[in-house]
Amino acid sequence: MRNATNLSLDGRVALVTGATRGIGAAISDRLAANGACVIGTATRAEGAEAIGARLADAAAPGAGYQLDVADPASVEALFKQIKSDIGLPSIVVNNAAVTHDDLAMRMSEEDWSSVIEANLSGVYRVSKAALRGLMKAENGRIVNISSVVGQTGNAGQINYSAAKAGLLGLTRSLAREVGSRAVTVNAVAPGFIDTDMTQALDAATRERMLDQIPLDRLGAADEVADAVSFLASPAAGYITGETLSVNGGLDMGG
């Protein structure tokens, strides 16, 4: 019979991009609680310091580092630094993302390009930089954080939706490339999650969101973290190229 050790991440080094708050913070905290040494990244130095302090407060191994996933030089510098400081990760969670919402007719070239660069090209850069270490590790893992809007689309978010949809194709293609080296590549697609962003919405908007969700509530960041932790664990060793939707039934098998 399987037991909790199949979810243990003892001895693993996990890189989580965009780990300052919300879903990224919940993921890094859950992986640390399951035994991983967590490398959490933030775009600003103060964010990286906050990640390190949060891990230290939990007596969890790991540290915060500064990273701009849209900058190839920043990605290269991060991997050089963590190789020296901690060791290359055997788990990579690509969570860092930005939004610049607008209707297509009003969207600027800069807003389109910046979202694609961070949310899609950034995942390519980080994953590529991590691959050599992942292939050398036993049972390497990549988990990409997509979104329900990458599956359904969303008015006013053509840039974000396109990037998150592209991430699903990247996930499946990369899974085919590295499967023979015991590296799995999967995605998690959250729906409407209770974070700072959704808490700032007015009551009417929140009510419209809830009307679309069969479970009649927003998801919790910890529930997304549970899905990521499972896919990063030995228990998910025969799952690759898949997308796990965490959306309360918002998109039934879409």
From the list 146, 160, 56, the residue with the least C-alpha distance to 113 is 160
Two tokens, residue 174:
């990369």
The tokens 């990579």 sit on which residue?
92
Task: Give the angle 241-243-249 at the CA atoms, nearest 5°.
Answer: 160
C-alpha separations of 102 from 106, 109, 114 in Å: 6, 11, 13
Q: Which residues of 223-247 are buried (b: 16+ CB within 10 A; e: fewer)?
A: bbbbbbbbbbbebbeeebbbbbbbb
Q: Which residues of 6-23 are buried (b: 16+ CB within 10 A; e: fewer)?
A: ebebeebbbbbbbbbbbb
Catalytic status, residue 160: yes
Q: Which helix (H) or strand (E) holds 166?
A: helix 158-178
**Which amino acid type is present at position 162?**
A
Candidate list 65, 124, 160, 238, residue with the active-site label: 160
CA atoms of 208 and 224, how far apart (whole Å): 22
**Nearest to residue 198, comparing CAs of 220, 167, 223?**
220
CB-based contacts of 238, cutoff 8 Å, min separation 6: none
Residues noted as catalytic: 160
